[in-house]
Amino acid sequence: MASPRLETYCCPNRDAATQLVMDFQPEVFCGVCIGSASISLILTILQLLPKKGQSPRKMPKASSSSTILLLISICDILGGLGMIFRSSVWLGFPGFIANISVVNGTDVWPSTFCVGSAMWIQLLYSAGFWWLFCYAVDSYLVVRRSAGLSTIVLYHMMTWGLAVMLCVEGIALLYYPSLSSCENGLEHAIPHYITTYAPLLLVLVANPILFRRTVSAVASLLKGRQGIYTENERRLGTEIQMRFFKIMLVFVICWSSNIINETLLFYLEMQPDINEMPLKNIRTAALITWIIMGVLNPMQGFLFTLAFYGWTGWRVDLKWRKREIPWESLSSSTAGENAYPAPVNYQSNIHDSKKISTTDSQQTDEAISMLSEGNTSSDERLTRSSPIYQGW
């Protein structure tokens, strides 16, 4: 589970609201986190592995959108591994964890583990948020014919640069002047919470706007491709819109509990005594959403693969073949054969007399294909309605 409270707990003089949630059934909470993260990890990897019965597909050019989708899944996998490791140590070595609360203690390893594991989880999920924002930007630029392989370098610089900068800045302000003597006050905690939730709120606000603009641009492309708007093209546009909707639905389901929980805990921090009876319902709601976070946050990885590619099946094909595998696309700038869900291939060896007349249609088809990646029915309809397909 990703929460700024994980870093706050590393301070010996932590606030009462953080102490409330971290002390609430820690064994149950850690077990929930391990179970949810493990299930999500296994199913996510299963989704990404090549499957039997899938014919290799060739890509006309490497897609930055497909690379971004894979990077989002990788961030979720690594973040889930961080949750499993942190929760396992929490359960297996309670005496080691108890030393985190010792003020001016001589053993620095408990605090180092606390800070390091919390930063690892925050950094990976924050990077996943930035990659999701980049996906929305890239989808819009692809339709506008302004994106390509060169932009993936800019996305890497923006995503990892902002994720590291915000994480380090928030941690530095939280642990000022030192980890053993953190300043107790909201003026140090609030900047940390802002740097944690800024990318999450950016995705919640900006991505729906970008997705809506992309859907509108897709409709214009489909209408202008042949001058008509057929039932197949209308259905394809609807499926792209549904794909964007599923992505945002998964994101809201997995992270809305974090926003609710943080709002409740922040309200409790503002009270002189959080144990007062009038605050009982608020404390109960905070504890319930805390457990829900432990279930939903790690499940984002698997749910995203369902939104990206649909269910890819159980029949994993682990036989070695001379073709590109999913994780090779991170460093490959050329297309190759791929059993991973990928944009459909369009024949490029057409007659010279048809090249000029079909260039715009081919670019449009490739742009739409990137957005409908992993949807077999969409790919087939797009291929059959393509002038390139009809020319054969």
Average of per-residue pLDDT across 311-332: 58
Which three-class secondary structure state does DSSP give residue 108?
Answer: coil
Query: Of the given ranges (163-167, 303-307, 367-371, 373-377), which has the lowest mean pLDDT?
Result: 373-377
Higher pLDDT, 215 or 385: 215
Residue type, 202: L
Check: CB of residue 100 under 8 Å from CB of residue 182.
no
- Distance CA(96)–CA(94), nearest Å, equals 5
d(CA 378, CA 344): 9
Mean local confidence (pLDDT), 71-92: 95
Superfamily of chain region 4-52+63-309: Rhodopsin 7-helix transmembrane proteins (1.20.1070.10)
Q: What is the structure's pLDDT at 337?
A: 40
Rounded CA gap, 185 and 14, in Å? 9
Give 337's contacts (C-beta < 8 A, 6+ positions apart). Answer: 56, 57, 58, 321, 322, 323, 324
Please state the rounded mean pLDDT for residues 180-185.
67
186-226 vs 109-143: helix axis angle to the nearest 10? 20
pLDDT mean over 102-106: 60
Mean pLDDT on 136-164: 85
- Among 82-91, 220-229, 319-328, 368-377, whose mean pLDDT is lowest? 319-328
Whether the CB-CB separation of 319 and 358 falls below 8 Å is answered with no
Q: How far apart are CA 379 and CA 243, in angstroms?
A: 14
Cα(339)–Cα(53) distance, integer angstroms: 9
pLDDT, averaged across the chain: 79
346-387 tens-digit pLDDT: 344 434 434 444 555 555 655 666 666 655 455 445 444 443
Residue 57, classed as helix, strand or coil, is: strand
Q: What is the pLDDT of residue 326?
A: 39
Judged on CB neighbours under 10 Å (0-12, 13-18, 19+), 150 is exposed
| pLDDT (mean) for 83-103 | 84
pLDDT at 101: 65
pLDDT at 85: 96
- 125-136 per-position pLDDT tens digit: 999 999 999 999
Q: Can you give the pTM of this predicted structure?
A: 0.81
DSSP 205-262: HHHHHHHHHHHHHHHHHHHHHHS---HHHHHHHHHHHHHHHHHHHHHHHHHHHHHHHH
Q: Using an 8 Å Cβ cutoff, are 350 and 391 in contact?
A: yes
| Per-residue pLDDT, 59 | 42
Report pLDDT for 323.
40
pLDDT (0 to 100) of residue 343: 39
| Domain ranges, ordered by start, for the chain | 4-52+63-309
* Confidence band, pLDDT 50/70/90 cuts, at residue 81: very high
HSE value, Cβ hemisphere, 13 Å, CA-based, for 326: 22
- How much is the pLDDT for 338? 40
- What lies within 8 Å, CB to CB, of 39 at 6+ separation is 299, 302
pLDDT in tens, 37-57: 999 999 999 999 988 776 544
Q: What is the pLDDT of residues 236-262, one digit of tens each?
A: 888 889 999 999 999 999 999 999 999
